[in-house]
Amino acid sequence: MAAVSGLVVFLLPSTLSSAEAGHGAARPHGDTRQTPQSEAVALGYAKWMSDVSVSVASGSWTFSSGGVPPSDFTAADYAVPDNPNDVSATGAQIVPTTSILQDQNYDYTLPLTPVYATSTTRTNLGPIGVALDGAVFFNPYEANDTTVATKDNFVLRSGGVTASFLDDCDGHPGPHGQYHYHGLPACLADYASGQSVAAVAPVTSTRGSTTTPVSLGTAAAREPVLLGFAFDGYGIYDNIAMNGQTIPVSKLDACNGTFSAVPGYPQGIYHYVLENLKSKQADIGCYHGVVSPAYTQALEETLNGPSAAASGVPPPSTQSGRGAVAPGGRGLAANADEDAYLREVIAASGNLCG
């Protein structure tokens, strides 16, 4: 075991087989994205913050956190739309972060060895993966399923206070006070690569086609930086390749995934890439792996709040699952019917946007 950022991480139990550890003998040369490879090595590279607890077992690992990043990793205020289905400055208000954020008590179990699926599963509203600072990732869209969060960012100024919808780390609070990311969190990449991290602040301008890029001030920053994991178990990285160059969108699949080398996997592994763009390519649009039960739990939390999910109470209007949902899940798949219901719940409750 090893101590990382104030917590104890059990890296590899002695019961892992060679295939589980990512050393299967049957892997062919070249692109092996459909050959299962363990994420245990990637977990060893993860720079979890002190709010996060991670434990690894044979076949799975568990992420636990309160869901609230350190104060330097959130802005002091946010611009909150009047209507979660209409992301604009019209009727919006500046709200202090301390009055929005809520503890989440996340406890998600993800597969240690993701399974690449031939068909993809659309990412849902609400959490789609976990981040180094204990927060979560959402997909590119807001509650209306058409507004791209990074593209439709806006800024409010009042009484000497400046606030933006998304901060300059591509994150903001959402339903149930969940802080989450919609794009490339440059602040997390800087932290994980051993660089100094400026306090997260509001965006001051929404011009241009890009969001905050990652810094390349250390050797670790000039390689792919692990930012977290999606609910199918695959790692989520920044947009830097092993040669130090920016990975273009043209190299990514429809889910924002690619098969290439990252630290610990010189022969390559499938993973997701977040881009510093003001478009849907900023974030993960679909899962290319079999989705874990953590995904189902996250949807229940989005519908009813963390306490309801923890109690095992199923959400109303649960649809039968379609797509690549892991056996043992509650059968709540990412599909259009469920997404529509989620949007109705968010709109009716008056919660923040997704």
Please give the pLDDT value at position 249: 96
Residue 20 has pLDDT above 90, yes or no: no
Burial of 200 (0-12, 13-18, 19+ CB in 10 A): buried
Dihedral sign computed on CA atoms, order 148, 200, 213, 114: negative
- Mean predicted confidence (pLDDT) in 9-14: 28
> What would you report as the CA-atom Rg of the chain, rounded to the nearest whole angstrom?
19
Reply yes or no on whether the pLDDT at 218 is more than 90.
Answer: yes
- Other CB atoms within 10 Å distance of the CB of residue 92: 20
Nearby residues of 146 by Cβ (< 8 Å), 6 or more positions away:
none
* Per-residue pLDDT tens digits for 235-290: 999 999 999 999 999 999 999 999 999 999 999 999 999 999 999 999 999 999 98
Label the pairing between strands 265-273 and 235-237. parallel
Give the dihedral of Cα atoms 141, 74, 258, 321; nearest 10 deg. Answer: -50
Residue-level pLDDT at 31: 66
pLDDT exceeds cutoff 90 at 13: no
Q: What letter represents residue 309's amino acid? A: A
Average pLDDT of the residues in 325-341: 44
Most confident listed range (14-28, 97-111, 294-308): 97-111
Whether the per-residue pLDDT at 344 is higher than 80: the answer is no
| String of DSSP letters for 87-131 | -SSTT-EEEEGGGT-----EEEEEESS--EEEEEEEPPSS--EEE
Task: List pLDDT tens digits, range 153-198.
Answer: 999 999 999 999 999 999 999 878 899 999 999 999 999 999 999 9
Q: What pLDDT, on a 0 to 100 scale, did the predictor assign at position 345?
A: 57
% of the chain residues with pLDDT over 70? 76
Residue 307 neighbours by CB distance under 10 Å: 11
Judged against a pLDDT cut of 80, whether residue 299 lies above it is answered with no
Helices (H) and strands (E) in the chain, counts: 5, 19
| pLDDT at 296 > cutoff 90 | no
What pLDDT was estimated at residue 84?
79
Nearest by Cα to 300 from 182, 139, 125? 125
Q: Are 164 and 203 in contact (CB under 8 A)?
A: yes
Q: Is the pLDDT of residue 99 over 80?
A: yes
Q: Which residue, chain included where needed, has tokens 């060679």?
A: 18
pLDDT, mean of residues 306-332:
39
CA angle 171, 176, 181 (to 5 degrees): 15
The mean of the pLDDT values for the chain is: 81
228 pLDDT higher than 60: yes
Q: What pLDDT shows up at residue 223?
A: 98
Task: Let me know: does 41 contact 114? Beta carbons within 8 Å.
Answer: no
Taking residues 310-317, report their average pLDDT.
39
Residue 19: pLDDT over 50: no
What are the structure tokens assigned to 346, written together? 């968010």
Q: Regarding predicted confidence, which is higher, 312 or 198? A: 198
The secondary structure of residue 268, as a DSSP letter, is E
Find the angle CA(142)-CA(144)-CA(78) to the nearest 5 degrees: 35
Side chain identity at residue 66, one-letter code? G
Model confidence band, residue 29 (pLDDT cutoffs 50, 70, 90):
very low
Is 186 strand, coil or helix?
helix
Q: Which phi and psi (to 5°) does residue 332 adopt?
A: -100, 100
Range 69-95 average pLDDT: 92
